Amino acid sequence: MLVAITMVHHSFGFFINWTGLQKGEGYEYHLMVLAIAVYLMIRGAGAVSIDRVLTHHAHRIGRCLK
């Protein structure tokens, strides 16, 4: 994403092309995706993570099989 920002989207400015008047898209969306990815890597998904639901479900099944 950093390479895409610096090589392609930086020349079109910060904001996304909402009106369709400029030729390309800005890098606002790419920065948001990077921020979300960094947050999830540091903090984790927490209660809404799929692996937590699957692990909890697997433990429940394991207790029933014993």
Confidence of residue 10 (pLDDT cuts 50, 70, 90): confident
Q: Characterize 3-17 residue by residue with b for buried, 16 or more Cβ atoms within 10 angstroms of its Cβ, and e for exposed.
A: eebeeebeeeeeebe
The yes-or-no verdict on residue 65 having pLDDT over 60 is: no
| pLDDT for the residue numbered 16 | 76
- pLDDT, tens digit (0-9, with 9 covering 90-100), for 18-37: 776 767 777 788 888 899 99
Percent of the chain with pLDDT over 90: 5
